[in-house]
């Protein structure tokens, strides 16, 4: 048995479901930080995984990106990419 069982079981979701989760997190953060108001994320699309643990999806950008919110948007995206696998 391996010494470390360090893995995360990812949720499986469609692009629309992942997008809804992303937008919900952005909206909740915008309630605390007004510079995030009006920010959004594009619909997730599949990509080839580099290895079995890397994300299998990405987004093409942040429409409506407000000045000063890029870092927060990337943090949200990175967290959700760790949590979800994209399914058709």
pLDDT (mean) for 24-53: 92
State the residue range of the domain holding 69. Answer: 11-86
Write the burial class of residue 9 (CB in 10 Å: 0-12 exposed, 13-18 middle, 19+ buried).
exposed
**Two tokens at 29?**
């953060």
Whether 1 maps to a domain, the answer reads: no
Residue 5 domain-assigned (yes or no) = no
- Whether 3 maps to a domain, the answer reads no
Q: Tell whether 28 is covered by a domain.
A: yes
In whole angstroms, give the CA distance from residue 81 to residue 47.
Answer: 12
Which pLDDT value is given to residue 3? 54
Q: What is the mean pLDDT of the chain?
A: 90
């Amino acid at each position: 048995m391996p010494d470390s069982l360090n893995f995360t079981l990812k949720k499986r979701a469609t692009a629309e479901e992942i997008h809804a989760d992303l937008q919900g997190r952005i909206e909740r953060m915008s309630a605390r930080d007004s510079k995030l108001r009006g920010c959004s994320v594009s619909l997730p699309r599949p990509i080839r995984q580099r290895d079995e643990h890397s994300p299998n999806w990405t987004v093409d950008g942040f429409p409506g990106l407000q000045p000063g919110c890029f870092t927060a948007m990337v943090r949200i995206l990175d967290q959700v990419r760790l949590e979800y696998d994209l399914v058709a």
